[in-house]
Amino acid sequence: MTDDLIIERGNNHAVLTLNRPERRNALSVALRDSISDTLDELAKDPAVKAVVVTGAGTVFSAGFDLKEFDQGTADEAFMAVLWASSDRFHRTVWGFPLPLIAAINGPAIAGGFDLAVMCDLRVAATTARFSHPERSFGDVVYGPLHDLVGGSVARDLTLGGRELAAEEALALHLVNAVVESEALSDAVTEVLSRICVAPRDVLMRIKAKALRRAGWDPDSQTLDL
């Protein structure tokens, strides 16, 4: 584990807070691996019915840590580690067998946008915004976004480079609710209370159906998504 991820446990849920505010909660290899390790453990915990993912500070996540790509350019072995971490992270988050809620406390950019759309439900602060600036130099994760908003909007956000403010995201059903920043915690708590009424095994069966309908491939790699 790393100090870059704060893990808080409730009676029937957990909250994971990306804790790199000085780097806009950029998803480093260490942070991605910590998220993957934690979700693997939580998936096996019979007390857990749901998991919340949020960011420390005013940004949800600015995406992958681009400094590490610079490092990988000069270090082939590290680049292999970087991509293996990425593949595992995407498979673990998207395939998590229980409900995942994104509490989007601010901008969700590039890989941070991907993290939000791989969750099952999204509650956004009014300060949230969504974009894929990495399209100017590399691939984007397309499939989970398409599953949420359909082909026309997904193409507009990826091929077309459209950016969304929180209220626009709500109108397009990308997020489930938009609230003021100070109300985000209470809004997420209300969502958790509704989710956790259901038995854990029922939640897992519903999630499995959702993943099948989305065409989830447990062997998928980042650049294929």
Residue 85 contacts residue 29 (beta carbons within 8 Å): yes
Q: Name the burial class of residue 57, with classes exposed (0-12), middle (13-18) and buried (19+) by CB atoms within 10 angstroms of its CB.
A: middle
Amino acid at 1: M
The residue from 8, 134, 163, 182 that is catalytic is: 134
Supply the DSSP symbol for 6: E
3-state secondary structure 116-181: HHHCCEEEEECCCEEECHHHHCCCCCCHHHHHHHHHHHHHHHHCCCCCEEHHHHHHCCCCCEEECH
182 is a catalytic site residue:
no
Q: Which are the catalytic amino acids?
A: 134
